[in-house]
Structure 1
Amino acid sequence: MNTKILYTLEFAKITARLAEHAATSLGKGMAEALRPNSDLDTVKRLLQTTDEAVKVDRLKGGAPFGGVRDVRPALQRARIGGMLSMHELLDIANTTSGGRRLKRFLQAVHEQAEIPSLVALCESVGDHTEIDQAIKACIDDQADMLDSASPELARIRQELRTSESRARDKLEQMIRTSSVQKMLQDALITIRGDRYVIPVKAEYRSHFGGIVHDQSASGATLFIEPEAVVTLNNKLRELKLREEKEIEKILLRLTAIVAEVAEELRYTVEALAELDFVFAKAGLARELKATLPLMNDRGFLKLKKGRHPLIPPAAVVPLDLELGNQFSTIIVTGPNTGGKTVSLKTVGLLSLMAMCGLFIPAEDGSQLCVFDAIFADIGDEQSIEQNLSTFSSHMTNIISILKDMTPKSLVLLDELGAGTDPSEGSALAIAILDHIHRLGCRTIATTHYSELKAYAFERKGIINASMEFDVQTLSPTYRLLVGVPGRSNAFAIAERLGLPLRIIEAARGQVGEDDLRVESMIASLEANRVTAEAERHNAEQLRREAEQLRQRLEDEQQRFREQRDKLLARAEEDARAAVAKARAEGEAVIRELRRLALEERGAVKEHQLIEAKRRLDQAVPELRDKQPQRAAGKRKDEKVEAGDEVKVVHLNQKGHVVELVNDKEAMVQIGIMKMKVRLDQLELIKAAPAKPVQQTATTVKRTRDDNVRTELDLRGSNLEEAIVETDRFLDESFLNNMGQVYIIHGKGTGVLRAGLQDYFRKHKHVKSFRLGNYGEGGVGVTVVELK
């Protein structure tokens, strides 16, 4: 790829922004050296890898690159026999551990969402645990050698500490004596040249023995090593030299370990660099809100809302453009500052980005081509000086393009033919475009010449385009309109600005008839375009509304079906639970009656028990069957009398009224059971005969509160009282088909909670229990699920 095009399209600014997203110097270097690729398979592979990194970035917020450094220079030095420093060795250890961490991270992500390209890159990241352990066993996180690096180093440092302590103690004794203190500038111990000294006033030099190692800037203070510590300092110096030699031996040993696997480590570093570079691409895609382009090598481009990546999002106008299908050349006309040059640069720069494996700032479904080269002659000519030198510069660039271009090239020409006589410039522009078009290049050219508008109409595969201009506001909209040539708008602008009408009419008279016809044709096309676009917009709006209504209706139907199925399932479950509970209670009553019959020697006959069981089975309701029509006049609110056949609504059971307890409740017999039931829960089925028949049966009384409770507050009760209340509450809840209830016992010492939970484990109605969740009361509440 010609480096000049990279400069013309400001590609370096893209690579600079890409480098900002790199986590390491490795990735930054690759970003800055990024260049487009002309092989379709390679570009697709690069984009696939970027897409996987974008997926990881979206799911996990990026990848961990902590500790990774560019250690390739250190590896090279180790390989040729040099000794590595502690900082270099620590960087190598941190890089290997960072590589392992990154590899584990990507393998874990791969289990959730497939990222095969990134996992394949990780294969080159070696483990190198033994090197990491060997280095970190000798060097700490501050790049200092540890005492435990070798037994000899530990012994030397122990001697050093002992000798330093003796030297300091000796000097401490000296500076505390009154005779010495008067000669000292400050009563402190300092170090000069790795030797312990004390600051002595210059005038006492002759009275104070020892070696002078330094003096202050003013010369008033001398830093003297007293004779009493010279021997100790000498020993310290010897120990420090021995320490340095031992550290050097350790560093050489660690360097040799690194040198053995230097080549493998280099592969690891290069793989980490590639991974950092890929995730930098993902970061740039997130910043630009970019998408994955579809790539081809057929010379086809289709941008959907493409945006120039270097223009602020609030200011950029999206570009819609298609090239290479029905037409291979686009001629863009329109006034200056209308956005023609930006459109050219957008197409060129987005093509370069895609060929580098970068996402592009455009909508999904955009397509770009892998060109063998992109050529551009783009100049932002804002000056009125259009002299020979400007024309020569343009021609020099175009001649170079014509020499190097191929049928698989993209050519971008700005202000083609400008800078010379209009008639000659337009003729030259037409000839150049004809040559490029015959070769088959994909071309976008901008111009002011009206002759090129007619030229595009007459040539197959060439189409006009223009930058939209609002005459009412005298300002461009920066929208590219493919298929419509641009108007000069000079007369309209002059009239809006206040130029006298007679001058404008005189100017129109100077324009040739052919030019007027072209302008009229363009005006008609533009009017038709505006009308068609408005109608298309309205149709699109209606289509979207219809689609939203259809989607809303489908969603509502789906919700209705789901709710219906849930209600039916819940009703069936409730009915099964009610039947199972009624049957279980009936069987329990029968067992109790049998026990009583045995104890009372035949007071209750067996055939009576069998008959009672049969009547209980007949009371089981049919699920999902329609309710039979009630006889006319038998309404729920009719007066119920003793002996009437009724339906107990909340139990969905039939029975007979034995007696009216009061004006609100009645005693109802259901099978062999008698229960006290509220009158508003009874539905009359059949009135009793004149003399209701008395039935003899064992009575089981059940009471039901007016308001069904779902929670029981036991705070302040002792354990015995709480168990009595809880037993009564659980029985009531069971009869009322409560699936779940809440026992409030408070936090306190936990005695009440523990006692109740032991009781729940043995209770026949309790299926399971748990402590309350957040929002349910926490450990102060036990949630009980009933059978």
Structure 2
Amino acid sequence: LLIPPITTLVITGPNTGGKTVALKTAGLVVLMAQAGLHVLAATGSRVPVFRSMFTDIGDEQSISENLSTFSWHITNIAAMDQSLTFPALLLLDEIGVGTDPAEGGALGAAIVDHFRRRGAQVITTTHYEALKSYASTTDGVTCAGFGFDAKTFAPTYVLRYGSPGRSLALEISARLGLAPSIVAAARTRQTTLEIQLSNHLARLEQDLRTLDDERHHVAQVRGQLVNTEMGLRARETALTKQETFIRAEKKRGVDTSVREAKREIDLTMRKFKKEMVTLTKAASSGHLQDITTGIQGAARVTARKTIDAISNRFQNDLPNIKAESTFERNNTSAQSFSVGDHVIVESMGFEGVITNVAQDSAEVDIQGKRLLAPLGDLRMIDRGSQKFSPPATMSVQLPELNESLTELNVIGCTIDEALTRTEAFLDKALLADQSNLRVIHGHGTGRLRRAIANLLDDHQIVEQYYTAPPEEGGGGVTVVTLKD
């Protein structure tokens, strides 16, 4: 009932409205909590631990003890004051009752303020205006009133903080069956000030009820908003997971298509290179005086048609690449591409050079292989830095007599230089129909050997490779076997 920094609570309200029950409930909750029992309270509630707790509830008047209602209450309160140990809780029902209302109200306010100043926490009930005024004007003290139904005057048992509830003695009396004439006569005896105060309190209670209704409505709306937000977040999470799954599935499909296309293109290139090997052998043996442009063109056209067919089929197999690209990169698709621009094909991760631009697509040269891609699937790199130049005409060069086609020495080269020379060495060996090769890289730190091994791992014309035997160079030499 007490919410810090409030240490004193004055409970008001109509008779039979629940004031004494609230007082007793507060005491029982404290005792149950300190006894280790569960209590009925809202989540987040806190129950202080008190060294002493005193109550002044009920009426113990006694003729034999010469105690009236008033004297019994005062005697009890005086004993509390003598025995008080802190922290302390005092529960005082109808403080100052049993004497003149004006004096009783003044005395009750003084008693409550005395215990508050000593440091005790106090909860009291009252009908006295003096105590209501004290609660409304004193720091650390607040008023709470029990409500009632405005039409039937039946108690609602709802405690409203900040409201000095009305006693409604006349209305409750009429509800309990007192003769209407008596109630009417009582109303005529009320002073103008009392009537004005009662009307003011009635309007205040009505305003508080309206505020409570609005507060309840706001709480409901807030709860609905929280539920809606949680639902939207859950839906967003589900959509994100679904999008991730769809992307993964699509990427797997694209990767599979890319691998299949690459495999077919590699097979075509191997066939083309074998044809060139045959031409080279014929030229070296004297059967052909020269490798004419017509012979070169026939082989090149055959390979080109095969690669174009693979490229077109690959484009048809890519599901919704254009739609996805437009959705994800609509700003990029609006860029102005031109021949010679260096771009990345986003769906495959390949870099290439634009060789032709249409309205919504472009032809991209990727290491000699041409691919038709939607503009939305292209991302510009190094715009304007380099322009495309047509590939050099194909020619077949016969190796010099002193150039070895079975052994390559890359000792002293950088990794990039060594990889470039090794790649060219493999191509020349293939054209010369050599299958057993040696790459001399030395021992050193091993970085050169590992780089060459990584190149050979995925090379399409390499059958196998291994470290040379100790008598042939050991770890400083890698032996390579090409595919037939």
TM-score by length of 2: 0.50
How far did residue 539 of structure 1 move? 3.1
How far did residue 380 of structure 1 move? 8.6
Picking from 25, 30, 34, the partner of 1:351 is 30
The one-letter amino acid paired with 1:349 is L
Picking from 148, 155, 160, the partner of 1:469 is 148
Partner of 1:369: 48
Change (3 A) 1:377 1:541: same
Determine if the alignment matches structure 1 residue 512 to structure 2 residue 191.
yes
- What CA distance in whole angstroms lies between the structure 2 residues aligned with 1:380 and 1:477? 26
- What CA distance in whole angstroms lies between the structure 1 residues aligned with 2:124 and 2:144? 10
How far did residue 444 of structure 1 move? 0.5
Picking from 218, 240, 245, the partner of 1:566 is 245
How far did residue 332 of structure 1 move? 0.9
Change (3 A) 1:494 1:417: closer
Determine if the alignment matches structure 1 residue 342 to structure 2 residue 21.
yes
- What CA distance in whole angstroms lies between the structure 1 residues aligned with 2:175 and 2:150? 8
The one-letter amino acid paired with 2:214 is E
Determine if the alignment matches structure 1 residue 618 to structure 2 residue 316.
no
Change (3 A) 1:499 1:379: closer
Runs of 5+ in structure 2 lacking a partner? 61-65, 272-297, 326-484
How far did residue 575 of structure 1 move? 2.6
The one-letter amino acid paired with 2:165 is G
Partner of 1:732: none
The one-letter amino acid paired with 1:520 is N
Change (3 A) 1:610 1:411: same
The one-letter amino acid paired with 1:538 is H
Picking from 74, 91, 108, the partner of 1:429 is 108
Deviation track 1:160-182 (CA, whole Å, cap 9, x = no partner) reads xxxxxxxxxxxxxxxxxxxxxxx
- What CA distance in whole angstroms lies between the structure 2 residues aligned with 1:380 and 1:572? 85
Q: 2:86 touches 2:119 (CA, 8 Å); kept in 1?
A: yes
- What CA distance in whole angstroms lies between the structure 1 residues aligned with 2:178 and 2:27? 40
Change (3 A) 1:583 1:356: farther
TM-score by length of 1: 0.32
Partner of 1:541: 220
Partner of 1:771: none
Q: 1:330 touches 1:464 (CA, 8 Å); kept in 2?
A: yes
How far did residue 526 of structure 1 move? 0.6
- What CA distance in whole angstroms lies between the structure 2 residues aligned with 1:441 and 1:401? 11
Partner of 1:213: none
Determine if the alignment matches structure 1 residue 441 to structure 2 residue 137.
no
State the number of aligned residues: 294
- What CA distance in whole angstroms lies between the structure 1 residues aligned with 2:56 and 2:180? 39
- What CA distance in whole angstroms lies between the structure 2 residues aligned with 1:461 and 1:586? 87
Determine if the alignment matches structure 1 residue 482 to structure 2 residue 161.
yes
Partner of 1:306: none
- What CA distance in whole angstroms lies between the structure 2 residues aligned with 1:429 and 1:489? 21
Change (3 A) 1:425 1:565: same
How far did residue 525 of structure 1 move? 1.4
- What CA distance in whole angstroms lies between the structure 2 residues aligned with 1:457 and 1:581? 86
How far did residue 495 of structure 1 move? 4.7
Deviation track 1:464-488 (CA, whole Å, cap 9, x = no partner) reads 2222222434432222112112212
Deviation track 1:78-112 (CA, whole Å, cap 9, x = no partner) reads xxxxxxxxxxxxxxxxxxxxxxxxxxxxxxxxxxx
Deviation track 1:285-315 (CA, whole Å, cap 9, x = no partner) reads xxxxxxxxxxxxxxxxxxxxxxxxxxxxxxx
Q: Which SS does the other structure have where 2:128 is aligned?
A: coil
Deviation track 1:223-256 (CA, whole Å, cap 9, x = no partner) reads xxxxxxxxxxxxxxxxxxxxxxxxxxxxxxxxxx
Deviation track 1:465-521 (CA, whole Å, cap 9, x = no partner) reads 222222434432222112112212232234556766554332112223443333223
Picking from 511, 517, 532, the partner of 2:211 is 532
- What CA distance in whole angstroms lies between the structure 2 residues aligned with 1:397 and 1:616? 107
Partner of 2:200: 521
Alignment of 1:223-242 (within 5 A): none
- What CA distance in whole angstroms lies between the structure 1 residues aligned with 2:307 and 2:76? 105
- What CA distance in whole angstroms lies between the structure 2 residues aligned with 1:335 and 1:551? 44
- What CA distance in whole angstroms lies between the structure 1 residues aligned with 2:150 and 2:256? 78
- What CA distance in whole angstroms lies between the structure 1 residues aligned with 2:241 and 2:19? 55
The one-letter amino acid paired with 1:618 is S
Q: 1:388 touches 1:420 (CA, 8 Å); kept in 2?
A: no
Deviation track 1:314-367 (CA, whole Å, cap 9, x = no partner) reads xxxxxxx34341x32111122343222332233333334444566643233323
Q: Which SS does the other structure have where 1:467 is aligned?
A: strand
Alignment of 1:397-436 (within 5 A): 397-406=76-85, 408-420=87-99, 422-436=101-115
Q: 2:15 touches 2:169 (CA, 8 Å); kept in 1?
A: no
Q: Which SS does the other structure have where 1:577 is aligned?
A: helix
- What CA distance in whole angstroms lies between the structure 2 residues aligned with 1:347 and 1:437? 18
Q: 2:59 touches 2:72 (CA, 8 Å); kept in 1?
A: no
Change (3 A) 1:447 1:388: farther
- What CA distance in whole angstroms lies between the structure 1 residues aligned with 2:245 and 2:262? 25
Q: 1:324 touches 1:442 (CA, 8 Å); kept in 2?
A: no
Deviation track 1:245-282 (CA, whole Å, cap 9, x = no partner) reads xxxxxxxxxxxxxxxxxxxxxxxxxxxxxxxxxxxxxx
Deviation track 1:544-594 (CA, whole Å, cap 9, x = no partner) reads 3444444444443443333223222221112323444566688899999xx
Q: 1:471 touches 1:489 (CA, 8 Å); kept in 2?
A: no
The one-letter amino acid paired with 2:138 is R
Rg larger in structure: 2
How far did residue 368 of structure 1 move? 3.5
Alignment of 1:286-301 (within 5 A): none
- What CA distance in whole angstroms lies between the structure 2 residues aligned with 1:497 and 1:401? 36
Q: Which SS does the other structure have where 1:362 is aligned?
A: coil
Q: Which SS does the other structure have where 2:143 is aligned?
A: strand
Q: 1:406 touches 1:439 (CA, 8 Å); kept in 2?
A: no
- What CA distance in whole angstroms lies between the structure 1 residues aligned with 2:255 and 2:38? 59
Change (3 A) 1:415 1:498: closer
Runs of 5+ in structure 1 lacking a partner? 1-320, 382-386, 593-604, 630-787
Worse overlay, 563-572 or 487-496: 487-496
The one-letter amino acid paired with 1:626 is K
Q: Which SS does the other structure have where 1:369 is aligned?
A: coil
Q: Which SS does the other structure have where 2:322 is aligned?
A: coil
Q: 1:572 touches 1:623 (CA, 8 Å); kept in 2?
A: no
Determine if the alignment matches structure 1 residue 331 to structure 2 residue 10.
yes
How far did residue 390 of structure 1 move? 4.8
Alignment of 1:719-734 (within 5 A): none
Tell me the percent identity. 39
Q: Which SS does the other structure have where 1:417 is aligned?
A: coil
How far did residue 529 of structure 1 move? 0.8
Q: Which SS does the other structure have where 2:94 is aligned?
A: coil
Q: 1:572 touches 1:624 (CA, 8 Å); kept in 2?
A: no
Q: Which SS does the other structure have where 1:415 is aligned?
A: coil
Alignment of 1:68-107 (within 5 A): none
Q: 1:467 touches 1:479 (CA, 8 Å); kept in 2?
A: yes
Change (3 A) 1:324 1:608: closer
Q: 2:59 touches 2:69 (CA, 8 Å); kept in 1?
A: no
The one-letter amino acid paired with 1:519 is S
Q: 1:466 touches 1:481 (CA, 8 Å); kept in 2?
A: yes
- What CA distance in whole angstroms lies between the structure 1 residues aligned with 2:37 and 2:180? 54
- What CA distance in whole angstroms lies between the structure 1 residues aligned with 2:121 and 2:29? 15
Q: 2:268 touches 2:303 (CA, 8 Å); kept in 1?
A: no
Worse overlay, 372-381 or 407-416: 372-381
